[in-house]
Amino acid sequence: MRMIFTILVCKLLRIIGKAVGKGSSLPGQVALKLCPDILSRVKLPSYIIAVTGSNGKTSTVEMIAHILTSNGKKVAWNKEGSNQIEGVTTLVLNSATLGGKVKSDILLIESDERFAKYTFRYIKPTHYVITNLYRDQLTRNGHPEWVYNALKDSIHEGTQLILNADDPLVSRFGADRKDVVWFGADKLSSDTETLESVYNDGAYCPVCKAPMTYTTHHYNHIGHYRCTECGYRRQDTEYTITAVDLDKGVMEIDGKYRISLALKSLYNIYNILSAYTVARIAGISGEKIAADMNNYVLQNGRVITFTLGNRRGTLLTSKHENSISYDQSLRVACAYKEGCDVMIIVDAVSRKYFTSDVSWLWDIDFEMLRSPNVRQIVLAGKYVNDLAVRFSYTDIPNDKIKLFEDIDEAADYLNSDRKEYIYVITCFSDKGKFLGKVKVD
């Protein structure tokens, strides 16, 4: 009775919540109060895919859901991206009958890194994807090793791990485990021999702490690494990006599947690869996956094209407090050969909590905006002074940079007859303040 009642309340709260535009974590939160062990009472599908990691969770989950559903699977997944235990509870109960049976073939869960150990205490994934571990929201997460330790407690026996072989810290989850599937990229034409980043989180072996060497860097510390002492090294991959041409916007997987990219970034190709890997494991053919991913445009609103007066532009949602997310977006702008203006907004550091910490700006490789493809740089928001100071420590000429504390004024400034494309790089917490000034496609 208690279970039926709890499920009913959760479903009703979700309907009401949707009607008034509330997030999806409250119904689950109430359900967990009413019946704390509700997740162990419901009957879950036999196939449970979980995705976690610092970056790319939401996009990867969306892609997996897209491929699986287009191939006839019934998938329950947390579309809204509420990825802590409450949001996952809402997802599970909302997908269940009143009798407590989840009505889908596959349960697909995006999970927050720090809370995975609580969620997966009740819901044991059969397949567990870990995308990457970066410096991300360190004001809450401490540092990547701290997150590694928290995640370690979320991995149980009997779960197949699906790991990014190119990330040295993530790969450590697979050391000494049997059931691991590795995905990663071969040496790519966009690779660099030396590290191009402000810091090197791959300088020392995560296992023995001796120095590591790289034969190739895909980006930052993601690449082909080897410890100089203990033998820890990048694993050979079962599912592999074999080539990429970011100019043309094409990637190739496993030497035969070519996929055109709607977003020409290395991030995107990794997300596609992890979705591909999961779908292959779920029994879908490479051809079908490649067709589903070809020119796939994410629906999650992270990449938004717009018109501002006579000018066209794209907003690349990047995460504040996450330097690699910024580096990736900056790289997209720098690659724009026809010439672009770049706007960076830091107004509210986080939408979820308050902080004035901007130390993460110093981990972002802004220096790359020296690229001749980048014509003008507009810095905006409450923390514009901190941005200005950060940029003063690059070799970018001062006259290329404009400063506005007010985002409206910055948008008005960009609304000119300049011909350059506009890239706006900012976070969830700040993007609305700009999008209100433009016409979104």
| Contacting positions for another protein (CB under 8 A) | 135, 138-146, 149, 198-200, 203-204, 209, 354-363, 382-383, 385-386, 388-389, 392-393
Distances, alpha carbon 246 to alpha carbons 44, 50, 277, in Å: 41, 29, 21
Nearer to another protein, 199 or 413 (CB): 199
Nearer to another protein, 65 or 361 (CB): 361
72 contact partners, CB below 8 Å, separation of at least 6: none
Nearer to another protein, 149 or 305 (CB): 149
CB of 359 to another protein, least distance (A): 3
CB of 386 to another protein, least distance (A): 5
Nearer to another protein, 52 or 350 (CB): 350
- What CA–CA distance (Å, rounded) separates 299 from 201? 32
CB of 397 to another protein, least distance (A): 16
Task: Catalogue the E-assigned strands of 195-279.
Answer: 212-219, 222-227, 239-245, 250-253, 257-260
Token readout for 79 is 């579309």
CB of 391 to another protein, least distance (A): 9
CB of 362 to another protein, least distance (A): 3
- What CA–CA distance (Å, rounded) separates 275 from 273? 5
Nearer to another protein, 80 or 357 (CB): 357
Picking from 286, 287, 294, 288, the residue whose alpha carbon sits closest to that of residue 268 is: 294
Nearer to another protein, 288 or 382 (CB): 382
Please, what is the Cα angle at 294 between 368 and 243, to 5 degrees? 55
- What CA–CA distance (Å, rounded) separates 134 from 136? 6
Nearer to another protein, 137 or 277 (CB): 137
SS3 assignment, position 399: helix
CB of 425 to another protein, least distance (A): 18
Nearer to another protein, 304 or 358 (CB): 358
- What CA–CA distance (Å, rounded) separates 71 from 278? 13
209 Rama sector, left if φ>0, alpha if ψ -120 to 50, beta otherwise: left
CB of 195 to another protein, least distance (A): 11
Neighbours of 334 (CB within 10 A): 18
Strand partners, 209: none
Nearer to another protein, 164 or 197 (CB): 197
Q: Count CA within 13 A, CB hemisphere, residue 260.
A: 6
SS3 assignment, position 83: coil
CB of 336 to another protein, least distance (A): 27
Edge-to-edge strand order for the sheet containing 75-77? 75-77, 106-110, 47-52, 127-130, 160-164, 180-185, 239-245, 250-253, 257-260
235 contact partners, CB below 8 Å, separation of at least 6: 165, 171, 174, 180, 182, 184
Whether 319 and 357 have beta carbons less than 8 Å apart is answered as: no
CB of 218 to another protein, least distance (A): 20
Nearer to another protein, 200 or 285 (CB): 200
Nearer to another protein, 212 or 282 (CB): 212
CB of 407 to another protein, least distance (A): 15
Compute the 3-state secondary structure of the chain and give helix, strand, coil in percent, each to the nearest 5.
35, 25, 40
CB of 387 to another protein, least distance (A): 9
Token readout for 101 is 């049976």
